[in-house]
Amino acid sequence: MTENDFVFKKVATTLKDGQFTWKAPSNIALVKYWGKKENQIPANPSISLTLDACATTTTLSYRKRESGGSGFSFELFFEGKQKDSFKPKIQTFFERVETYLPFLRSYDFKIETSNSFPHSSGIASSASGMAALALCLMSMEKQMNPAIEDTYFNKKASFLARLGSGSACRSIAGSLVQWGGTDVVESSSNLFGIDYPYDVHADFKTYHDTILLVHKGQKTVSSSVGHNLMHNHPFAENRFVQAHHNLEKLKGILVSGDLDAFMGLVESEALTLHAMMLSSNPYFILMKPQTLEIINRIWDFRNRTKTPICFTLDAGANVHVLYPEKVKEIAIQFIKDELIAYCENGHYICDKVGAGAKRLR
């Protein structure tokens, strides 16, 4: 598929007013996306587990504009309060997707959004937030054009979400989502995420992710700045090649359920992501001392007890502790006994693999 497939088809129906509500999950990448080309095209393919508990719920209300204004018209409420500081991000998103949703200037919108995870927990809400908004806009398009089928609906929602925030395209449908063109995954695309189309060992269908909130404040360097620093990065090309190889290796691991190989690959991906930050120009560090303490504790526990428990990191200091359902009790006990002490105010979130976004209304 190409961008042209997502251009809006002229329809006779126009909508007067109404609203849609979608709940979209967050996701955690196993093979990381870091570095992008123009128009939010990823420099390498990535794959993520869809989360369940960490999600954004968005209600989009729309009313046909009486007199045509020239700009976009929208109000934004975050957790019940008007939040003008989020508006520039939505404005940019609307500008990027207007070609594909040409009706955007014809409506007054109200966007009401809230997260299931605590405010400023250091968990990125851009993936779930952009996914939820893209899905609401797709519901509008489908209302105008009921012939749209589910497969196209999800692809276009992912395509639009990607234009808001790259990783958001992996928060639409499926519990394991792949994004970025690669020979290893049939029908993979740089334009949208796809529900991973191959067999997956039962262990990975119920995997747990306990998110340790090490640092709840604002990140010192945003993801967009980090992605940009991959241009002219001395190790970028090798990193992109490595991501392709890791995706290929992971394909086998996902079938076999080889947890040792899984943990090795996932931890290496997390540390490589941060190694790219450490070796950018200018360089930066998003990990905190507690992040490293937690990593060392996990390694020590794994060596001592042979429990298949590992970590991954996002672009931040928080640690995602990953383990299969079958060791849930032992893992939670270990987390409580040894890791919670490193979390800000002892806070953590118990999450696991989820199934994707849901329309609520």
Residues that bind ligand PMV (CB under 6 A): 29, 32-34, 46, 124, 126-127, 165-167, 223, 227, 273, 314-315
How far is it, in rounded angstroms, from Cα 178 to Cα 246?
Answer: 13
**Residue closer to ligand PMV, measured from CB, 90 or 140:** 90
Peptide bond into 282 cis (omega under 30): yes
Cβ-proximal residues to 104 (8 Å cutoff; 6+ apart), any chain: 72, 94, 97, 98
Q: 322 forms bridges with which residues in the sheet?
A: 209, 310
Q: Which is nearer to ligand PMV, 184 or 327 (CB)?
A: 184
As a whole number of Å, the CA-based R_g of the chain is 20
Of 63, 71, 178, 57, nearest to 129 by C-alpha is: 57
Do residues 175 and 50 make contact, with C-beta atoms less than 8 angstroms apart? Answer: yes
Closer residue to ligand PMV, CB minimum distance, 206 or 222: 222
Q: Which is nearer to ligand PMV, 34 or 107 (CB)?
A: 34
Minimum separation from the CB atom of position 89 to ligand PMV (A): 11
Q: Which is nearer to ligand PMV, 314 or 344 (CB)?
A: 314
Q: How far is the CB of 105 from ligand PMV (least distance, A)?
A: 26
Cβ neighbours, 10 Å, residue 69: 11
From residue 41, give the alpha-carbon distance in Å to each of 120, 169, 180, 347.
28, 11, 8, 35
Other CB atoms closer than 10 Å to residue 147's CB: what's the count? 8
Closest distance of CB 336 from ligand PMV, Å: 27
H-helix or E-strand spanning residue 82: strand 81-82
CB of 32 to ligand PMV, least distance (A): 4
Work out how close the CB of 137 gets to ligand PMV at its nearest, in angstroms, rounded to a whole number. 18
Q: Name the residue nearer to ligand PMV (CB basis): 316 or 324.
A: 316
Comparing CB distances to ligand PMV, the nearer of 7 and 278 is 278
Whether the Cβ atoms of residue 15 and residue 144 lie closer than 8 Å to each other: yes
Cα–chain center distance at 272: 18
**Nearer Cβ to ligand PMV, position 104 or 169?**
169
**3-class DSSP state for residue 132?**
helix
The tokens of 91 are what? 């404005």
Joined together, the tokens standing for residue 150 give: 């589910």
To the nearest whole angstrom, how small is the minimum distance from the Cβ of residue 166 to ligand PMV? 4
Q: From the CB of 234, what's the least distance to ligand PMV, in Å?
A: 19
What's the CA gap between 6 and 140, in Å, rounded?
15
* Distance of closest approach, residue 85 Cβ to ligand PMV, in angstroms: 17
The angle that helices 150-164 and 126-144 make with each other, rounded to 10 degrees, is: 140
Minimum distance from residue 324 beta carbon to ligand PMV (Å) = 21
Nearer of residues 140 and 286 to ligand PMV, judged by Cβ? 286
Q: Coil, strand or helix: which one is 14?
A: coil
Q: How is residue 166 written in tokens? A: 């790259």
